[in-house]
Every structure is written in C-alpha cells, then in structure tokens.
C-alpha cells in the first residue's frame, strides 16, 4: 500500500514539475528586455546602435544566426547571440517584428 502511494506521489510530483518548467519558459517579450540596455526600450535606439523594432522576424533571426556563427562581425553581439537557443532567438524575433514603427 505504501509503495502504491509513493508511486502515485511521484507521478503527481513529475506532473507538477513539468508544469512549473513549462511556465518558466521565457516569452519573446521577456527575452527582449535584455536588449533594452543597448537597443532601447522596445528596440527603439536613441543612439548610434541600430533600432531593432519592426525588423521582420526573418531579418532578426538571420542577423542573430550570423552573429552566433561568427559570419557577421560584432563588438559584443557575436558573444551575446551565442547565449541564446534557436527557439529563444525566434521568440525574440517574432516579438520585435510585432512592434510596428
């Protein structure tokens, strides 16, 4: 009896943990907050760094992949891009593409 209860509790725990892990997955908007320091709020830069709001998702994904692979040189973006998964890059790109100029 105790063994059945233990097994049942394990399955419940696994289910709760998987829901928690799913809820902790950052959205494109959450990931985009990391860009604000250089590219400005919502990707609208006030300085020499280019604005990234309103870029098409394809443009942003391609740029990030090029930075990540080293094909596109950068002072810091090539290092930053390596820290994002393909899914995270796509989520950020879709978020910024949704910001119309």
Mean predicted confidence (pLDDT) in 2-6: 57
Paired tokens of 13: 């725990």
Among 5-14, 32-41, 85-94, where is mean pLDDT lowest?
5-14
In a domain, 8, yes or no: no
Helix (H) or strand (E) holding 80: helix 77-81
Residues of the domain holding 36:
27-97
Number of domains in the chain: 1
CATH number for position 41: 1.10.760.10
Mean predicted confidence (pLDDT) in 8-35: 70
Q: What are phi and psi of 86, to 5 degrees?
A: -60, -35
pLDDT(22) > 90: no
Angstrom distance (rounded) from CA 52 to CA 9: 48
pLDDT(83) > 80: yes
Name the pTM for this structure: 0.72
CA 89, 92, 96 angle in degrees (round to 5)? 135
């Amino acid at each position: 009896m105790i063994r059945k209860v233990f097994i049942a509790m394990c399955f419940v725990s696994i289910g709760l943990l998987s829901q928690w892990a799913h809820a902790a997955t950052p959205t494109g908007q959450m990931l985009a907050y990391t860009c604000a320091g250089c590219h400005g709020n919502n990707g609208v830069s006030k300085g020499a760094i280019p604005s990234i709001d309103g870029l098409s998702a394809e443009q942003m994904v391609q740029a990030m992949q090029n930075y990540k692979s080293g094909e596109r040189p950068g002072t810091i973006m090539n290092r930053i891009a390596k820290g994002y998964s393909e899914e995270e890059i796509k989520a950020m790109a879709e978020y910024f593409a949704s910001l119309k100029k």
